[in-house]
C-alpha cells in the first residue's frame, strides 16, 4: 500500500524544481499536473444523473472513488506518491476528505507579482507560449488574462487561502519558492519532517529535467519550455529579469494583496 500525499502549488512557484529534487529519492514520486482531482470530481458528479438518483447506490460508487489513488498509481513502483493537483480548492478538498483521513498537503507559494513576471518573461522569449495564444497583446492584458477568475492561478490562490483560513495547521506545510531555491537543504528537510518519511541525501548540484515513472512533460500543448529547468546546481539558479520591472505598475497595485500568506 502506497502512502499518498498532496502538492498544491501556484504555477511558476517551483513545482517542477521541487519534483525534480524529490524524485531523486527512489522511494518518492512527485507527479506532474495530475488528473486525479478531476477523476474524483467526475465520479462524484455521477450522483447528479437521473439513472443514479433512480437507484442511488452510494456505497458501490464510493467504493470506486475511494480506490482512485490505489488504482491510478498501482503500477508506480514507489512507496510515497505526492499527487500534484489543486487539492486545496474547496470542492476538491471536500471530496478528498471522503477518501482520506490523514491528509498532508505541501503548499508551494511565490510572490504573485513574481509569478506574473515569470509568465511574461517566458511569453516574450517563446512565441508558442499559451499566454500568446489569446487576444491579449500588452503586458497588462496578459496579466489580467492570467488572473482570470476561472484560470489556474486564481484557482490555486483560492485553494491556498482556503487551506490557511479554514483547515487545521497540521494539514499543510508552506514552501516559498525563494526558500526552495536559496535555502534548498533546509527547505527539503522541512518537507521530510512534515511528511514523516525517511530522509534522503539529495544532490542539489545535479538538478535535471523533471521526469517521473519514465515520463516527461509534452510542452507542445502549453508552449515550449514551460517546464524546462536550468540544469546544474540549484545554487546557480537566477532569473534573468526583475519581475517588478517588467510587470506594469497598475498590475502590481491591483494584485499585490494576493500575497496574503506573507506576514
Task: Work out the percent of the chain whose per-residue pLDDT is above 90.
Answer: 95
- 1 pLDDT tier (thresholds 50, 70, 90): confident
| Concatenated DSSP letters of the chain | --EEEEEEE-TTSSHHHHHHHHTTSTTEEEEEE-SHHHHHHHHHHGGGSHHHHHS--HHHHHHHHHTHHHHHTTT---SEEEEES-TTSHHHHHHHHHH-SS--EEEEE--HHHHHHHHHHHHHH-TT-GGGGSS--SHHHHHHHHT-TTSHHHHHHHHHHHHHHHS-GGGEEEEEHHHHHHSHHHHHHHHHHHHT-------TT-B----BTTB---TTTT-TTTT----B-GGG---SS-HHHHS-HHHHHHHGGG-TT--
CA 162 to mean position of chain CA atoms: 15
Mean pLDDT of 35-50: 98
Q: Which residue's C-alpha cell is 472513488?
A: 65
Q: What is the pTM of this model?
A: 0.96
Residue 35 pLDDT greater than 90, yes or no: yes
Supply φ then ψ for residue 207, to 5 degrees: -75, 125
Specify the pLDDT at position 16.
98
Specify the pLDDT at position 262.
75
- 134 pLDDT tier (thresholds 50, 70, 90): confident
Specify the pLDDT at position 24.
98
Q: At what angle do helices 90-99 and 36-45 cross, to 10 degrees?
A: 80
Residue 120 pLDDT greater than 90, yes or no: yes
User: What does pLDDT average to over the chain?
Assistant: 96
12 neighbors 119 (Cβ within 8 angstroms): yes
Rounded CA separation 117/143 (Å): 9
Q: Give per-residue pLDDT as tens, 156-180.
A: 999 999 999 999 999 999 999 999 9
Q: Give per-residue pLDDT as tens, 145-156.
A: 999 998 999 999
Rounded CA separation 238/230 (Å): 9
Mean pLDDT of 15-33: 98
Residue 26 pLDDT greater than 80, yes or no: yes
Specify the pLDDT at position 263.
60
Amino acid at each position: 500500500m502506497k502512502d499518498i500525499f498532496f502538492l498544491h502549488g501556484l504555477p511558476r512557484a517551483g513545482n517542477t524544481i521541487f519534483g525534480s529534487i524529490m524524485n531523486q529519492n527512489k522511494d518518492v514520486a512527485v507527479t506532474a499536473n495530475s488528473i486525479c482531482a478531476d477523476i474524483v470530481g467526475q465520479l462524484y458528479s455521477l450522483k447528479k444523473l437521473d439513472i443514479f438518483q433512480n437507484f442511488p447506490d452510494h456505497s458501490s460508487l464510493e467504493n470506486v472513488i475511494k480506490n482512485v489513488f490505489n488504482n491510478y498509481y498501482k503500477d508506480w513502483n514507489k512507496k510515497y506518491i505526492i499527487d500534484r493537483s489543486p487539492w486545496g480548492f474547496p470542492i476538491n478538498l471536500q471530496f478528498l476528505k471522503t477518501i482520506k483521513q490523514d491528509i498532508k498537503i505541501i503548499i508551494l507559494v511565490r510572490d504573485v507579482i513574481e509569478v506574473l513576471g515569470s509568465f511574461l518573461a517566458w511569453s516574450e522569449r517563446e512565441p508558442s507560449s499559451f499566454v500568446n495564444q489569446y487576444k491579449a497583446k500588452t503586458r497588462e492584458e496578459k496579466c489580467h488574462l492570467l488572473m482570470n477568475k476561472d484560470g489556474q492561478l486564481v484557482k490555486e490562490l483560492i485553494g491556498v487561502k482556503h487551506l490557511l483560513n479554514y483547515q487545521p495547521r497540521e494539514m499543510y506545510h508552506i514552501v516559498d519558492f525563494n526558500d526552495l531555491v536559496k535555502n534548498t537543504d533546509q527547505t527539503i528537510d522541512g518537507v521530510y519532517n512534515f511528511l514523516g518519511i525517511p530522509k534522503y541525501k539529495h544532490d542539489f548540484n545535479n538538478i535535471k529535467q523533471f521526469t517521473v515513472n519514465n515520463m516527461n512533460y509534452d510542452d507542445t500543448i502549453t508552449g515550449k519550455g514551460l517546464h524546462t529547468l536550468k540544469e546544474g546546481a540549484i545554487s546557480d539558479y537566477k532569473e534573468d529579469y526583475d519581475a517588478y520591472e517588467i510587470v506594469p505598475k497598475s498590475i502590481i497595485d491591483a494584485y499585490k494583496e494576493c500575497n496574503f500568506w506573507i506576514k
